[in-house]
Structure 1
Amino acid sequence: MDIDSLVAIDVHTHVHKSVNAPQAKPEDNEHLAAMAAYFKTAAASFTVDDLAAYYRDRNMAAVTFTIDQREAPEDPSRATPMEIIERARDQHADILIPFGSVDPNRGAEAVKLAKSQIEAGAKGFKFHPSSQAFMPNDRLAYPVYEVIQEAGLPALFHTGQTGAGAGTRGGGGIRLAYSNPMHLDDVAVDFPDMPIILAHPSFPWQEEALSVATHKPLVYIDLSGWSPKYFAPILVQYANTLLKDKMLFGTDFPVLTPERWMSDLEKTAIRDEVKPGIFKANAARLLGLAK
């Protein structure tokens, strides 16, 4: 990967569809349709090959993943974490940075899966506490974190409200409280050498996220899932000052595109001098792609 030539590193993108999936309309998928309605955009699903081509055309690298859920119904059309890791490793190493994913509720199996994903080339791990139904500071998850910390890899956690299940009956059974970023303060204490990325502006817990990231040296914030024009003033303030080296560009693609995110950033008070760090330099250091 030629880091110097890249325009940016998007640290938060999703692969929803297996390369072997039959052709289908994204709007026919209830989960994708609900997400599209929440973000007021068209339903879209990408294979890892589709996503690589999209970002290669834009000269941007992308961290990408899917989310492992123990209780999710079997769906052969959905990409697995291992498919994403292996395909990114073998065909798209110039542009994709694959993250693994394991549901801590799998217990000992989760540890085995994490180890196999690391051996296959995972560069980090994605957790979605609300969708996976676990508290990030539950000791249930600690054996998985031990594996990740030992490998020297980062862990990215969804925080705040989620579009998953939004507007569906009972919110699709998803409980928002699992994704309060303050739970990750305990994780940062107990795993001080594991970089933690708090995904998204953490509505309604923005100040909690800023507090944890300010206090704990290896806690970062990715700015995905929101148009920058909706960022809270305090988030912009910290991006310009105390946390300028810890803010990361992310879109939550395909629900937001890099073009829209970057265009909307120009409508904010984030200073020009901190933008190179947000777009690329901070992520390159965190991911071990640059010193």
Structure 2
Amino acid sequence: MIIDFHVHCFPDKLAPRAVSQLAATAGIPPRVDGTISGLKESMKRAGVAKSVVLSIATKVTQTENINNWSAEIQDEEIIAFGSIHPEYENWKTELFRIKDMGIKGIKFHPDYQNFFVDDKKMFPIYETAFELGLIVVFHAGVDIGLPAPYHATPERLEKIVRTFPGCKVVAAHMGGFSFWDDVERFLVGTDIYLDTSYSLDFMDGEQAKRIFKNHDVSKILFATDSPWMDQEEAILKLKNLNLDKETENAILGLNAKALLGL
């Protein structure tokens, strides 16, 4: 079973504008149209059994609507995470509602949501999410198209791992896009999950294999960042690293299956 732990989709009416705007900001052409149906067509071509849709509340007013949509789109192929905007006043009630709706986790994008990942004002939100058993995913490192400062660097994420030991934390983009030396310095060997989204094409293959070797292999998750990367091509990129079959199968799906409790 192949599980893509990091994709993005939008409601059909919003997808054309959202994908177009994001593509223009980042200078990256989309590989699919950003709809659920487009994602499922991609999954079928690539042999992906399940994809985890990660949405982000970039405005306070989006929080409840995003979580409602996330609950609605879940089915046998789609697992959707919710989101909490840092300034959303009723965050605790919303986290309990997320849990009650059967959503397994939440996504934060500290750059888009304008907070530093290790800001202690966020700790009560994290603590409640972890107490509820929710998985917390952070965008990590550079976001192409957005300027510095970068709000979720490996060094800052290490503080989260140290503060909340044993909790389910996922650092996207191999722990920090374009900060991979710092990933090795601060995150490799710690109790954090790293996803491969939009990374393997941009980092040295030997460094990727070194991270896989030195980190707990059960905490590496295959991910693409679709629509910004093609799922079929991303699977081939991982396979071209020539990892042993047990490691490859763990990364492609077994680790995510265990983390998601499937």
Q: TM class, shorter-chain normalised?
A: 0.7 to 0.9
User: For structure 2, which runs of at least 5 residues remain unmatched after alignment?
Assistant: none
> Which structure 2 residues correspond to residues 133-144 of structure 1 after superposition, within 5 A?
133-144=114-125
Query: Given the alignment, which residue of 5, 13, 17 partners 1:11?
Result: 5
Structure 2 equivalent of residue 204 of structure 1: 178
Q: Is residue 149 of structure 1 aligned with residue 142 of structure 2? A: no
TM-score of the aligned structures, taking structure 1 as reference length: 0.78
RMSD: 2.7
2:82 alignment partner in structure 1: 100
Which deviates more from structure 2 when the two are superposed, residues 127-136 or residues 202-211?
202-211
Farther off after superposition, 97-106 or 122-131: 97-106
Residues 4 and 224 of structure 2 are in contact (CA less than 8 Å); yes or no, is this contact kept in structure 1?
Answer: yes
| Structure 1 unmatched runs, 5+ | 1-5
> What is the CA distance between 1:112 and its match in structure 2?
2.8
In 2: Cα distance, 1:23 partner to 1:155 partner: 25
Seen in structure 2, the aligned counterparts of structure 1 residues 274 and 68 have a Cα distance that, compared at 3 Å, is same
Which is bigger in relative contact order (C-alpha 8 A, separation at least 6)?
A: 2
Q: Does 1:251 align with 2:203?
A: no
**Residue 148 of structure 1: how far off its partner (Å):** 1.0
Task: Write out aligned runs for 1:220-239 (5 A).
Answer: 220-228=193-201, 230-239=203-212
Question: Residues 120-199 of structure 1 correspond to what in structure 2 (within 5 A)?
Answer: 120-163=101-144, 166=145, 171=146, 174-199=147-172
CA contact (8 A) 2:30 2:227 kept: no
Report the equivalent of 2:52. Answer: 63
Give the residue type in structure 2 aligned to 1:34: T
Q: Classify 1:271/1:80 alpha carbon distance in 2 versus 1 (closer, same or farther; 3 Å).
A: farther
Aligned CA distance change for structure 1 residues 206 and 23 (closer, same or farther; 3 Å): closer
Q: Tell me which amino acid in the other structure corresponds to 2:85.
A: D
Change (3 A) 1:205 1:97: same
Structure-1 separation of matches of 2:54 and 2:109: 11
Q: Determine if contact 2:60/2:87 at 8 Å carries over to the other structure.
A: no
| Residue equivalent to 1:3 | none
Cα distance change, pair 153–134 in 1 and its aligned pair in 2 (3 A): same
Cα 1:61/1:238, change in 2 over 3 Å: same
Matched, 1:48 2:36: yes
1:118 is aligned with what amino acid?
K
Q: CA deviation at 1:23?
A: 8.0
Looking at structure 2, the residues matched to 185 and 245 of structure 1 have their Cα atoms a distance apart, in angstroms, of 18
CA contact (8 A) 1:65 1:81 kept: no
Aligned counterparts of 2:122 and 2:5: Cα–Cα separation in 1: 23
Identity, in percent, stands at 23
